[in-house]
Structure 1
Amino acid sequence: MDSSLTRGLYRDITDLAEDTPSWLQHTAEVWTEAGLLLFGVLFVVAWWRARTDSARAVAVAVLAPLATATGYVVSESLKSLFDEERPCRTVTDAAPSLVTCPPTGDWSFPSNHASIAGAAAVALVLAWPRIAALVVPMALLMAFSRVFVGVHYPHDVAVGLVLGGVVTVVFVRLLTRPATALLTSLRTSRTGVIVWFAGPGPVAGAPAAGGRGRSRAAHRRR
């Protein structure tokens, strides 16, 4: 990858980072890793809330972390094809990185953190659309923080975000149907742990989403 494409922007961002208050610098340092943990927590919450929904909803929630892991594997595999050195080592006229520069061999393109963030955000939106306003900014901030602390070029994180998102969409689309069939089967099991994992599903006789509103509208038409 031609690092000259965003070398100037990298320099501008790291210069900005150097001039920011120390508390903001520390926040960015922590966020580059803490964001991953928060995504993990959201995966668990998405699965837990989906357990009382359809088998398909549980399947998508279960596939979400698996899709994210796949995005990471694809990103890591691409690194060996490009062998792009980290900007904190090659852009000598930029401000020093806020964190320790990874060693040679831990290549820069694409950004694993950004790939994970993009994959996790898309996966969570597919499983739990209402939290899009939370997870999308999370992913963007995590990607930006990797440039801010000085360990990635802007194009590393931009490609990482897109890569993770695309891998997730393909992964979920391909596996939702078989995963739904599996979850439907698991819900017939008498084994406690399996039933707990697959969830009880919707309460029998409960109206489908939006069903109550449609019933009222039909009543008014009568």
Structure 2
Amino acid sequence: MQAPDFSADLYREVTDFAQGTPSWVHEVADVGTDAGLLLFAVLFVAGWWRARGLDARAMGLALAAPFAVVSAYLVSEVSKTFIEEERPCRAVTGAVHIAACPPQGDWSFPSNHATIAAASAAAIVVAWRAMAPLVLPLAALMAFSRVFVGVHYPHDVAAGFLVGVVVAPLVALVLMRAAAPLVGGLRGVPVGAVLLGRGAVAGAGSAGAGGPVGGPVMAEPHAGMGSMLGAAPLDEASVTMPDVLGGVTRRQGPVP
């Protein structure tokens, strides 16, 4: 596959700019493309730990996240073998690059790094939505860094990013359907309870207790008022103002 001219031109602009940046920026960009993947691994562990106190669906998503990333990576890697696009660090005349150019046969399209970064971010967001402001910009920065260090065209990382954000959430949701019932069963076993936690405990008045979250519970106040007024407990559906006044009248005489 021949890279499109617009992408080759943009590649030259980005790599020329990169060459003009300080040497410490080169080092950060070169190391950061792999270090970011380690950060995602740490977030997978944090997501599993967090899900120990949540329901089986949340734990299922946390466990499915790494497998979803591997699935996206396999789609990217298999695509490379069919498309066979040469790396820009060899194909572009006069190309300058910060990172070492990968060996012959290590094809360029799509970018595996961009795929893994985007898939990791997408899988984490599906399982832990509050992390989106952190992981999505991080994935985009990691994808861009592959062009910055000179080993991918811009269209390589754009395609890899798209593969990651599409494949990983779909796989995570499919795997969650199979994993959630299994999690529920394993939580009843001592070893499973240690690894998977015991899940969320539904409180009074919560959706897990059979009612809306934060919904009012009126039976106890009515019963308490009936006791204070000396009247027999009434069904809450039949409590009216005449009933209450009637209780007062019986204790204190006619209402003036």
Q: Give the TM-score taking structure 2 as reference length.
A: 0.79
**Displacement, 1:21?**
1.1
Aligned partner of residue 200 in structure 1, secondary structure: coil
Give the total of aligned pairs.
Answer: 216
Q: Which residue of structure 2 aligns with residue 83 of structure 1?
A: 84
- State the identity %: 52
> Matched residues in 2 for 1:116 and 1:29: separation?
16
Q: Which residue of structure 2 aligns with residue 200 of structure 1?
A: 198
**Displacement, 1:207?**
6.7
Deviations along 1:8-47, one digit per CA (max 9) or x if unpaired, are 0000000000001111111101111100000000000011
Q: 1:119-130, aligned counterparts within 5 Å?
A: 119-130=119-130
Report the CA distance shift for 1:58/1:9 in structure 2 as closer, same or farther (over 3 A). Answer: same
**Displacement, 1:61?**
0.6
Report the CA distance shift for 1:195/1:11 in structure 2 as closer, same or farther (over 3 A). Answer: same
Name stretches of at least 5 consecutive residues in structure 2 with no aligned partner.
Answer: 222-256
Q: 1:63-102, aligned counterparts within 5 Å?
A: 63-94=64-95, 96-102=96-102
**Displacement, 1:198?**
1.7
> Matched residues in 2 for 1:201 and 1:135: separation?
25
Report the CA distance shift for 1:77/1:201 in structure 2 as closer, same or farther (over 3 A). Answer: same
User: Which of 1 and 2 has higher RCO (CA within 8 Å, sep 6+)?
Assistant: 1
> Matched residues in 2 for 1:151 and 1:206: separation?
57
Aligned residue identity for 1:128: W
Q: Which residue of structure 2 aligns with residue 9 of structure 1?
A: 10
Q: Provide runs of 4+ in structure 1 moved above 2 Å.
A: 203-209
Q: 1:177-196, aligned counterparts within 5 Å?
A: 177-190=177-190, 192=191, 194-196=192-194
Report the CA distance shift for 1:206/1:167 in structure 2 as closer, same or farther (over 3 A). Answer: farther
Q: 1:49-64, aligned counterparts within 5 Å?
A: 49-64=50-65
- Between 181-190 and 149-158, report the one with greater CA deviation: 181-190
**Displacement, 1:93?**
2.5
Aligned residue identity for 1:21: P
- Between 181-190 and 123-132, report the one with greater CA deviation: 181-190
**Displacement, 1:208?**
5.0
Aligned partner of residue 26 in structure 1, secondary structure: helix
Deviations along 1:136-191, one digit per CA (max 9) or x if unpaired, are 0110000000000000000000000010111112202222211101111111113x
> Matched residues in 1 for 2:127 and 2:138: separation?
16
Aligned residue identity for 1:169: P
Report the CA distance shift for 1:59/1:206 in structure 2 as closer, same or farther (over 3 A). Answer: farther
Aligned residue identity for 1:45: A
Q: Which residue of structure 1 aligns with residue 141 of structure 2?
A: 141
Q: Which residue of structure 1 aligns with residue 241 of structure 2?
A: none
Aligned partner of residue 182 in structure 1, secondary structure: helix
Aligned partner of residue 6 in structure 1, secondary structure: helix
Larger Rg: 2
Report the CA distance shift for 1:52/1:214 in structure 2 as closer, same or farther (over 3 A). Answer: closer
> Matched residues in 1 for 2:65 and 2:32: separation?
21
Counterpart check, 1:168 vs 2:152: no
Report the CA distance shift for 1:113/1:207 in structure 2 as closer, same or farther (over 3 A). Answer: farther
**Displacement, 1:2?**
3.6
Name stretches of at least 5 consecutive residues in structure 1 with no aligned partner.
Answer: none
Taking only aligned residues, the RMSD between alpha carbons, in angstroms, comes to 2.2
Q: Which residue of structure 1 aligns with residue 22 of structure 2?
A: 21
> Matched residues in 1 for 2:83 and 2:108: separation?
9
Q: Give the TM-score taking structure 1 as reference length.
A: 0.91
